[in-house]
Amino acid sequence: MKKYLLLLVTFFAVAVFAADKGTWTGYISDSHCGAKGNNAGHADCAKKCIKEGYAPVFVVDDKVYTISNPKKVAKYIGDKVTITGTMTGDAIEIEKVSK
């Protein structure tokens, strides 16, 4: 029983420390181009790629993050935005998006 309790506590500790709540600024790009979409000149290409079925991603510098709730960024494709949310590994769950 102690082993299971220790395992459970360890799991929750890792989960809490793995998630990073915060605010980040970057571009909404597409999963096809990724970090190449880290500029305002990529907006038309990002919109085209997403229309073709690629997923929107969030690019900060050269780092590409998947978006767990992409509907929140649908009107910001290609834009530089500030996102508030929770980042876990290479994925971000968005709470708020502003331009």
pLDDT tens track for 20-74:
999 999 999 999 999 999 999 999 999 999 999 999 999 999 999 999 999 999 9
Residue 6 has pLDDT above 90, yes or no: no
Tokens representing 86?
Answer: 């929770």
Spatial contact of 58 and 92, defined as CB atoms under 8 Å apart: yes
List residues bridging with 93 in a β-sheet: 86
CA-CA distance, 23 to 11, in Å (whole number)? 25
Spatial contact of 46 and 78, defined as CB atoms under 8 Å apart: yes
pTM listed for this prediction: 0.81
Q: Tokens 């997923």 map to which residue? A: 55
